[in-house]
Amino acid sequence: MRSSPAPSSSSARDTSAHTLADCVDGREARIVRVEGPAVEGPVAAWLAAVGLAPGELVRVLRRAPFGGPLHLRTEAGAEIAVAEEIARSMLVEIEGGRS
């Protein structure tokens, strides 16, 4: 009889594919990758300048109705509004379980 491996500290992360736009209000997510036509050129430069890059942990504070922007807080405490189209281009790992 084989025993299951002990849970690791990373077991609290959901490693299935999600975008930042999939996260519910109050949820934390770690940015894994930023890619796609919505995040090229000046948008990519802006995201890097405000710290929304791979490895960054963000919390979704709230989202505007009718597909409006997501209001985020970064680990450094910056609060930023990001268009839903851009949030859909940000692949994340959900912290603490499911979105």
Note the pTM of the prediction, 2 decimals.
0.77
Number of C-alpha atoms within 13 angstroms, CB side, residue 25? 7
DSSP state of 36: S
Is residue 91 over pLDDT 50? Answer: yes
- For the domain with range 15-95, which CATH number is right: 1.10.150.120, 2.30.30.90, 3.90.45.10, 3.20.20.10? 2.30.30.90
Average pLDDT, the chain: 84
* % of residues, the chain, pLDDT over 70: 81
pLDDT reported for residue 14: 53
**pLDDT, tens digit, for every residue of 5-53?**
444 444 455 556 899 999 999 999 999 999 998 889 999 999 989 989 9
Q: Are 76 and 66 in contact (CB under 8 A)?
A: no
pLDDT reported for residue 12: 52
Mean pLDDT of 45-62: 93
Which residue ranges make up each domain of the chain? 15-95
